[in-house]
Amino acid sequence: MLSDELNRMTPDPRPPAAGAARAHEARKTDATFLYARLHNFTAISRHLSGVELTTFVNEVRRILSESVIKLGGEIAQRRPDSILAVFSNKPDARKPDHAQRGLHAAILLVYEAVQLAGRVAAQAAGRPMPTLTLAAGVNLGYAEISGRGSRNNGMVHAVGEAVELARLLEVTASDLRWSVAASGRTLRAAAGRAEAGRIGSVGPPDNSFLDIVEITGLVPRRGSRTSPEMYKLLREAIARNERAFARPHDMTMGGDATHPGTQAATHFLIEGYRILRQIGAGGMATIFLAQTQDGGPHQVLKIMRLDGLPADDGLQRFIQEYALLAQLHHPNVARIFRQDFSAGHAYIAMEYFPGGDLRARIGDGMDRSAVIRYLKQIAAGLQAIHVAGIVHRDLKPDNLMLRQDGTLALADFGVAKQVSMLMMDTDHGDVVGTPSYLSPEQAQGMLVDARSDLYSLGVLVYEMLTGQKPYRAASTRAMLELHINGPIPQLGPDHETLQPILERLMAKDREQRYASAQALLDDLEQRGI
């Protein structure tokens, strides 16, 4: 049973009776929904004798209901090992506190579950027994709630997205090995009543975002008569419950056969990041703007689904992008912070560029001084990756990102290649890259080296100066033919001093190009450019 301390922590708010006048009246209201489930309930039951099983089942039923009722919650669904509860306020309530009561109940559920787990373990007396754990999801939102009448012991019926998200959060808590997962909105509404730990983001299948927070303890109310020791015991119970969780089941976010209602086909689940918004999408990945738990600068999350991947090297390319960038630390190369797998997805956390990409700056042509500045920065970035044995192979304005201070960085190494890496060794004859910026050797499917990137840089220089691409054609095949055999474009009189540099960058024979990006930088310095 709950201790006297716990009883003082769960004041009776006089929960509304399910009177005849409102027994079947449906109401759409703002409420907090708690879904909690005991894990290993069935496995433990199989190990118990008849008397032991009866006691165990009755204890579970008490635990799942008692704290909810004491805190003014209404039971919407009750199974042998789980409960769905609704916490709402009376219409005349001066200050809504259902979020506080919902989180409070979830914490007490964990505490009671840990106490029961200890009793079960002691009763086992050496018999092998799975560990009883509890995961809970708490979410605040609107849902339709209707009374089922006194014949059903005052239980209510609750339906709506907010209810399903509470179920999703329970599954999320289990996968992350959190005791209680709450939506960010719920925590904010609780006004400091609950202690928070780690954060994350869940993306349901509808492409929305839900911030999630790990609940780690209860905060005393002002003037509380409960001893500080009790709050410490609650925190310890939450931590102990989390340590007892089994290894997460491959982050699949699935339910189980006995809980078909808890199936949660989550789009993605990322721990440690708060998703702000989607900012892009490509063939392999979706791009999100996110913030880390420590509240540092915004980062970009590049998230790739793992299910239903075609039988190509898409995942290998995705992983290689991290492997290539992680080893580089240069001001003109995009920074990458983390690569991991979560909930059927792979993701890369990268530097965010609020200035956008170079494409937006080109327009009808750029000032010569800006072109020279960007040329030098691109060359410096290329030199850094080439020294590391990496060929970018897709250099274009869209992959050149700008920071707030005006510096430029190479990004998007999705088709980059490192000579020493065999995991992504593109077959001879494959054409990789963007047609308008391909080198002649790329256009012919030949093996490439660092000088291929220098050709693409030449295309960029022409485009930055004139606002137009050097070659235009009606088809990809015709475009490739121009890269292979077309004349090197000529700059106007205003830029004639840069023509010799363009000639070397865009030479059809790579042997006639600069030997390296550093050689280009040296030449610019010698020319006083």
**Positions marked catalytic:** 394
Give the C-alpha separation, 117 to 115, whole Å: 5
Where residue 253 falls (left for φ over 0; alpha for ψ -120 to 50; beta otherwise) is left
- Which one, of 14, 188, 178, lies nearest residue 107 by Cα? 178
Question: Partners of 305 in the beta sheet?
Answer: 345
Residue 83's CB: how many other CB atoms inside 10 A? 25
Q: What are the tokens at 529?
A: 């450019």
Radius of gyration of the chain (CA): 31
Q: What are the tokens at 236?
A: 């310890």
Question: How far does CA 261 lie from the centroid of its chain?
Answer: 24
Helices and strands (H, E) in the chain, number of each type: 15, 18
What angle is formed at CA 27 by the lines to CA 26 and CA 32, rounded to 5 degrees? 125
- Spell out the residues 6+ positions from residue 475 whose beta carbon is closer than 8 angstroms to its own: none
Report whether 160 contacts 142 (CB < 8 A): yes
- Spell out the residues 6+ positions from residue 92 whose beta carbon is closer than 8 angstroms to its own: none
Where residue 210 falls (left for φ over 0; alpha for ψ -120 to 50; beta otherwise) is beta
Is 360 exposed, middle or buried (CB count within 10 Å of its CB: 0-12, 13-18, 19+)?
A: exposed
DSSP 262: G
- Which one, of 159, 2, 151, 115, lies nearest residue 65 by Cα? 2
H or E element at residue 67: helix 50-70
Report whether 101 contacts 54 (CB < 8 A): no
- Spell out the residues 6+ positions from residue 259 whose beta carbon is closer than 8 angstroms to its own: 37, 79, 82
DSSP 180: E
- Spell out the residues 6+ positions from residue 118 whose beta carbon is closer than 8 angstroms to its own: none
Give the sign of the dihedral formed by CA 356, CA 360, CA 365, CA 367. negative
Look up residue 356 and give its amino acid: G
Where residue 365 falls (left for φ over 0; alpha for ψ -120 to 50; beta otherwise) is left
Q: What are the tokens at 53?
A: 């099983």
> What φ, ψ does residue 47 adopt, rounded to 5°?
-90, 0
